[in-house]
Structure 1
């Protein structure tokens, strides 16, 4: 079964609408809802006084209708009494300004008061609904760190010092790791250490990096605390939280993913290349718990509400978005939210049941999607196989975010997404992988932008190539260790021997400036003075100097680019390394083809036509409605087709 539904917020509506909502859910094919995400002020209107009668009726309504509940702890939005009574538990920004109640996530992640109150409401929910037949999973919190990923208050400062003591043990070790001999920053007492608050000039980059690590860990500790409490009360009920993979970069989702039973994410389309961005977010979410099903916990039926211009989706677009997530490994398609709010900050955010009701494009597409997902139930539990991985690491992204860099234009997330997008255009499905993770399943591993890499991560890529794999490393990668300390002796320090090159100096390019490549096309943003040691040149700058090199290493090949190849030049490089690794490529023509398969031999081919013209793809088997497909299948413009492939 494919999970289908969305967030339901019945507290926003008169009780007489609830039964109608549940009836319409049945009409749409909804089989699961997230419930209670923003209900804290109604469940506990006064500190210590709980009102669950109305929530009991909601749970029973859903249970009687056979709709499963992902029951949320409402801890992402403390009620007004919390901020009024405990102002010391509110967050502060780097300027020392207190952020007050009036939106959501108004709490300091390190606050013991917040943790106590959050666990109290979570325990009430666990004890009251732990054996309710509708309960299918705990949805802990909501979008950790969306608005309070880093707090700079005195409580956070004390927690940061405790985290550093555990990490480094001694001040001497911390001073060495942070390079505090620079700018007279050597610490002689733990109490001298603060979060990287606003200072006259650049903060210590290692301090900033560790504060990002600490802040991610503080949010993870909150999840663990609620999860462990609920697990003690309901040991057989899985627990998760919803990530924001691909568009929010303040939490290390590799570490978060180890703690959830099911990887879940929210995704909202950007205006530029929306289907390519969606593919990246889906691939990243799938990779967080490889070989396990994942859920799309939120996306939108049409417009969102927070951008300067909130574009409505065209007819069929929501359908394509949903099937694209399904194709890339999702076993559940859910939306924010079920019924569109008539008041509040998100009243213009679209929903499954819009303001205009059921005689609408949105509602008809919601019902049609429910029909499709019912017919695709046997897709659940199948997996997406990929021969290519892109290395991604949150601490590396955070370290490169420090403002004192050779250029601010070399943005690691953008580079990673550019390489992923070019693979998409070449018809190549890829995973994202941790630099220290298992790479043995892949033929090709890419490191587009990995400024920071640990010794273990550096050695991991070397072993992969020595064993017969192929890699392509992008510029400004392997530069520093896990403390953001430069690896001396020439760049790229971690991989000089692997790549067979030594880079002497960086020459970042001005905005709009490019460097011509002898093999055609151009590089942008970056260039380097690179010397060969054991590598050979595959392409040069038109004015001289290596732009693309290859080195033999063990039984494999290690490629390096000293610039960011643009457009066709990047396609040329990626096509070549794919060919060397034995990874098939081909122009998609705007049609996305992804395969999900099962160990028993069943497989499903997903064809998503993002173009404005009909397309013919090769396929053999039958469509979901049973129509035979014998060699070719027409996919109309803007449409999707799913083929149960012949064995």
Structure 2
């Protein structure tokens, strides 16, 4: 077959989805490509779940089908993110190597019959995964349809931690590299408690089910090890493919914002471009979407990212799988674009007629092209083509929220003052508060560069390293404003309490010493003198150098502010609810010089380039028309001379007129 070597232009928004043609008769493939071109699709992810067809029996390969598919895409001018299919080993793998299957914390082996049925530490799995990856690399490294390697799929989605004997041995090797000696490990974990001191490395196991609580230090390090084990698998496939196809970038799709078992700060350092999957969850799905997009953007703030998967309508894996209303998919997609995505892709291209995801929506639904979904798919393709000049532009933010995976994992241990203080929920709640104020924010690693921000928020950072603690101090000393939430700075990197009074790491920065926690019961609140209530948590705090900005009805400090060199650090001893949190966030934004004004229910985000025009995205999530401030020309040709009407449920993208 003659191959059209058309290269998709550099200035474009990638548009497409997972294409799984192996689910369909070959005569449907040309029709799929024709429909892709009609919809404006320029890229597809390919081969994600094809291992059992590419290697139907161990060591016997069949690439005839994939050859024809790749050539068909190249002829149609459609590029591919070619996947290594290693997220779903074929049945022969489990049948021949049952020892490579994962084991849960209760000692139950998990069998083949779905996907990700492998132990991340299994040398047999790694060998077989590299085998199929090598075959793909040799065969397609210079194929004209190849744009990027899509390595694996959603690492750790179903097997993030394995507790088998192979994993136990790998965990001990990891611990030896981390601590060097048993004495150092025993000291770090504090194993003198409950007579858990180890005298031989072979005595150490993963935190399997025990009669009572597992050891906090052991559990925390096992989470770290498990994340590293998955990252090692990614590196192994990536390095092999780099050797076979120099210059072809590689990525793997994160699940940022809704899956918390992998440390994505570490993963982000290893991918050539950050990509993620995002699905609507929660009571305010558009705000949850904004959080996921902001988190993904923050992994590599210097460049855009790829939305590898989202849904055209309903998914199949929630208790109640809500279909998206007309226009909702369009708004969702533009939200991701506004917050830094240069690719808008879906799972999947054609909706499956069989299998566990047959009720997951797709770009071509069961009902075909005479549908709401297809009409919106085509309309979105047109919009993204019109918005091609947005590609490469970045999102600027004056505010950062600190987030770190080890802190989440440490606080996940059940032996806490309360189970109701949930760090991810609190981080999302503060982010939502900023969203409602019209403030765009990044997420940041506690040890990362904070110099570009005016305001740093620390909603819930139970664990912080000495380096992370000092980093926030330097930020404030240089003139920044910080707001720290309760139960932050409490323990070090080993989950050992910082003694001398809470909030340990930041006692001096905040100018406050907390002597005791008083968690609140469900439904219990504290009244704040400045208005509103606090929930979940309260403390007995003693200001040293801090001034008190608000108190409980009992007179105990609820909100303090401490001058620290050129900046200021605020502290909350409770979790203000509703208007109370808005009041605090508004105040610290004002002090930091961060504009905080919004049209209720309308999302405004700006993408810009230092040497080029900026684009203002206005997304109306309400059922009434809204008027926003804007100057420039919308993509539909509408002029905005200071004011722009955004119809109910609609989006507007404005090429802004440069000042002066």
TM-score normalised by the chain length of structure 2: 0.98
Question: Residue 215 in 1 paired to residue 226 in 2?
Answer: yes
User: How far apart in 2 are the matches of 1:90 and 1:496?
Assistant: 47
Secondary structure in structure 2 of the residue aligned to 1:478? coil
Q: 1:626 offset after TM fit, Å?
A: 2.8
Matches within 5 A, 1:33-72: 33-72=44-83
CA contact (8 A) 2:550 2:558 kept: yes
For the pair 1:592 / 2:603, whether they are aligned, the reply is yes
**Structure 2 residue matching 1:237: 3-state secondary structure:** coil
Please name the residue that 1:565 is paired with: 576
SS at match of 2:630: strand
Query: Following superposition, which runs of at least 4 residues in structure 1 exceed 6 angstroms of deviation?
Result: none
Structure 2 distance, partners of 1:247, 1:627, is 37
What secondary structure does 2:506 align onto?
Answer: helix
1:262 counterpart residue number: 273
Would you say the 8 A contact 2:599–2:628 is kept in 1?
A: no
Q: How does 1:543-554 map to 2 (within 5 A)?
A: 543-554=554-565
SS in 1 for 2:17: strand
Residues 389-414 of structure 1: CA distance to partner in whole angstroms, max 9, x if unpaired? 00000000000000000000000000
Match of 2:235 in 1: 224
Distance 2:582 2:107 in 1: 47
Task: State the Cα distance separating 1:628 from its structure 2 match.
Answer: 2.0
What is the alpha-carbon distance in structure 1 between the residues aligned to residue 18 and residue 43 of structure 2?
Answer: 9
Does residue 190 of the first structure (1) align with residue 201 of the second (2)?
A: yes
Q: SS where residue 559 of structure 1 aligns? A: strand
Give runs of aligned pairs for residues 500-519 of structure 1, distance below 5 A.
500-519=511-530
Q: Distance in 1 between matches of 2:227 and 2:446?
A: 19
Match of 2:618 among 589, 592, 607: 607
Q: In structure 1, what is the equivalent of residue 532 of structure 2? A: 521
Quote the offset at 1:631 in angstroms.
1.4
1:17 paired with 2:24, answer no
Of 171, 192, 197, the match for 1:181:
192
**Where do 5+ consecutive residues of structure 2 fail to align?**
1-11
1:271 Cα offset (Å): 4.2
Q: Secondary structure at the match of 2:629?
A: strand
My pick for the range that moved more, 153-162 or 595-604, is 595-604
Who is 1:122 aligned against? 133
3-state secondary structure, aligned to 1:622: strand
Per the TM alignment, residue 270 of structure 1 is displaced from its structure 2 partner at its CA by 1.1
Instruction: Provide Cα deviations, 1:333-372, integer angstroms capped at 9, x if missing partner.
Output: 0000000000000000000000000000000000000000
Tell me the SS of whatever aligns to 1:105.
Answer: coil
- Deviation sequence 1:194-240 (CA, Å, 0-9, x none): 00000000000000000000000000000000000000001110000
Q: What's the TM-score, normalizing by structure 1?
A: 1.00
Cα separation, 2, equivalents of 1:237 and 1:421: 38
- Alpha-carbon shift at residue 586 of structure 1 (Å): 1.2
User: Are 2:288 and 1:284 aligned?
Assistant: no
After superposition, give the CA deviation of every residue in 1:70-113 in whole Å (9 maximum; x if it has no partner).
Answer: 00000000000000000000000000000000000000000000
Within a 5 Å distance, the mapping from 1:231-242 to structure 2 comes to 231-242=242-253
The one of 480, 487, 492 aligned to 2:491: 480
The secondary structure found in structure 2 opposite 1:602 is strand
Structure 1 CA distance for aligned equivalents of residues 332 and 541 of structure 2? 43
Report the equivalent of 1:622: 633
Determine if the alignment matches structure 1 residue 148 to structure 2 residue 177: no
1:116-157, Cα deviation, whole Å (9 max, x unpaired): 000000000000000000100000000000000000000000
Give 5+ residue unaligned stretches, structure 1: none
Determine helix, strand or coil for the equivalent of 2:319.
coil
Q: Quick check: 1:533 aligned with 2:548? A: no
- Secondary structure of 2:303's aligned partner: coil
Residue equivalent to 2:6: none
Report the aligned-residue RMSD: 0.5
In structure 2, what is the equivalent of residue 428 of structure 1?
439
What whole-Å deviation, never above 9, does each CA across 1:264-301 have from its counterpart, x for those lacking one? 00000014100000000000000001111100000000
Question: Per-residue CA shift, 1:438-477, capped at 9, x if unaligned?
Answer: 0000000000000000000000000000010000000000
